């Protein structure tokens, strides 16, 4: 497989993972709403966004402290537990819908529990890249839908704007995500999405992850620096330990011929989750006609946010594959907000209504 094919395959796989999170979230919006999964009493309260960002900052600090005092195993167990919990939310809606006509309610509940525990077991004992990606898509879709139905339009827009600014500061300013990334990546848990560039790549067999497309790099790493720019996922944004802060970086870019000097790309799960919160919020709270798409609660503004996110992703990947480090959420959230507003205007909504005023 030549270098161009590898790059195109990696970009295509990354887009598919993002689409999996987006489509999954849209499919879960109505079931989660009907099941009363909203996390707050008033989703239109803008202070919800401030509270959430505050919780994320505290969680980041606790994670950094835990790594400093060698509590890696505790962090790993905690995040796997979060994975099981979010998977249960998702499977609690999907399993009965699939097997409900054929089995009793008790059996469906049992299958839901088994499926959720299977996710946790796979992450603990066989964290290969496809296990990480599969769990990441399930968790990302569930987390985005949960936050989407809990954040009204204005809180969601404030959340995406605040996290884009925070992401830029953490990459170009304080760079503290580098420390968090170095600890999180080697735990082999779904705070990242892994995109292999070689058929023989094994995430389980990899030592430390030194080739990164996400979170935390500001300068290309030296070829002999195994720590490199490491990706991280925060500890509270989309919940996988809240994978929402993410910065895109490359530790060594393409060589003169455009080849990638790495075996895999890593993208923080939060890069997929956070912009999808707006996609789900638009689907849940905007009173506009829905598009004729089976199973999905999608309208034109939600579709615009999804398309805008993918556009931002393509720009981000181009920059990273060119060897330029860049914070992820400014591009991704910016694309989501821009696409959302265009979709809202195309639906006949005023700007004031679109931003929840």
8 A C-beta contact, residue 183 and residue 227: no
Give the chain's count of helices (H) and strands (E).
11, 4
| Residue 205 covered by a domain | no
| Residue 48 covered by a domain | yes
Q: What's the length of the chain? A: 357
**Residues of the chain below pLDDT 50:** 209-259
Task: Print burial letters for 258-281: b (CB count within 10 Å at least 16), e (below 16).
Answer: eebebbbbbbbbbbbbbbbbbbbb
Alpha helical stretches, state H, 126-220: 129-150, 153-172, 176-185
Least Cα distance to 135 among 67, 83, 208 occurs for 83
8 A C-beta contact, residue 355 and residue 157: yes
Structural domain boundaries, residue 176: 1-199+258-353
- Cα–Cα distances (Å) from 102 to 88, 91, 93, 114, 164, in that order, read 20, 16, 16, 17, 46
Compute the distance between CA of residue 352 and CA of residue 134 in angstroms, rounded to an integer. Answer: 38
Element (H, E) at 193: strand 192-196
| Residue 62 covered by a domain | yes
- Count CB atoms within 10 A of the CB of residue 62: 14
| Residue 304 covered by a domain | yes
Query: Which residues are 290's β-sheet partners?
Result: 299
Strands 192-196 and 264-268: antiparallel
| Residue 103 covered by a domain | yes
At 223 the pLDDT is 35
- Cα 89 to its chain centre, rounded Å, is 17
Name the DSSP letter for residue 220.
P
| Residue 226 covered by a domain | no
Q: What is the pTM of this model?
A: 0.84
Half-sphere exposure at residue 81, Cβ-oriented, CA atoms within 13 angstroms: 6
Written as six digits, the tokens of 313 are 């992703």
| Residue 214 covered by a domain | no
Number of domains making up the chain: 1
Element (H, E) at 354: helix 351-354
| Residue 238 covered by a domain | no
């Amino acid at each position: 497989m030549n270098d161009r094919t590898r790059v195109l395959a990696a970009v295509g796989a990354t887009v598919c993972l993002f689409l999996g999170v987006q489509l999954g979230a849209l499919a879960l919006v109505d079931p989660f709403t009907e099941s009363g999964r909203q996390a707050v009493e008033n989703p239109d309260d803008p202070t919800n966004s401030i509270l959430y960002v505050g919780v994320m900052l505290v969680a980041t600090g606790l994670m950094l402290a835990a790594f400093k005092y060698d509590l890696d195993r505790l962090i790993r167990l905690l995040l796997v537990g979060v994975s099981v919990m979010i998977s249960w939310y998702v499977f609690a809606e999907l399993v009965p819908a699939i097997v409900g006509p054929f089995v009793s309610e008790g059996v469906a509940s049992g299958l839901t529990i088994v499926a959720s525990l299977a996710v946790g077991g796979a992450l603990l004992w066989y964290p290969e890249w496809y296990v990480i990606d599969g769990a990441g898509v399930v968790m990302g879709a569930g987390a985005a839908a949960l936050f989407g139905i809990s954040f009204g339009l204005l809180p969601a827009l404030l959340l995406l704007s605040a996290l884009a600014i925070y992401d830029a500061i953490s990459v170009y300013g304080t760079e503290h995500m580098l420390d968090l990334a170095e600890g999180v990546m080697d735990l082999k848990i779904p705070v990242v999405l892994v995109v292999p560039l070689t058929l023989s790549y094994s995430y389980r067999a990899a030592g430390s992850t030194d080739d990164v497309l996400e979170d935390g790099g500001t300068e290309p790493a030296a070829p002999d620096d195994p720590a490199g720019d490491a990706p991280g996922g925060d500890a509270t944004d989309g919940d996988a330990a809240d994978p929402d802060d993410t910065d895109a970086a490359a530790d060594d870019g393409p060589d003169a011929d455009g080849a990638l000097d790495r075996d895999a790309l890593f993208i923080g799960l939060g890069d997929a989750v956070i912009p999808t919160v707006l996609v789900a919020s638009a689907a849940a709270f905007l009173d506009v006609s829905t598009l004729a798409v089976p199973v999905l609660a999608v309208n034109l503004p939600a579709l615009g946010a999804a398309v805008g996110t993918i556009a931002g992703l393509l720009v981000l990947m181009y920059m990273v594959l060119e060897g330029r480090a860049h914070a992820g959420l400014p591009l991704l959230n910016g694309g989501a907000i821009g696409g959302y507003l265009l979709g809202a205007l195309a639906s006949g909504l005023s700007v004031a209504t679109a931003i929840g005023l």
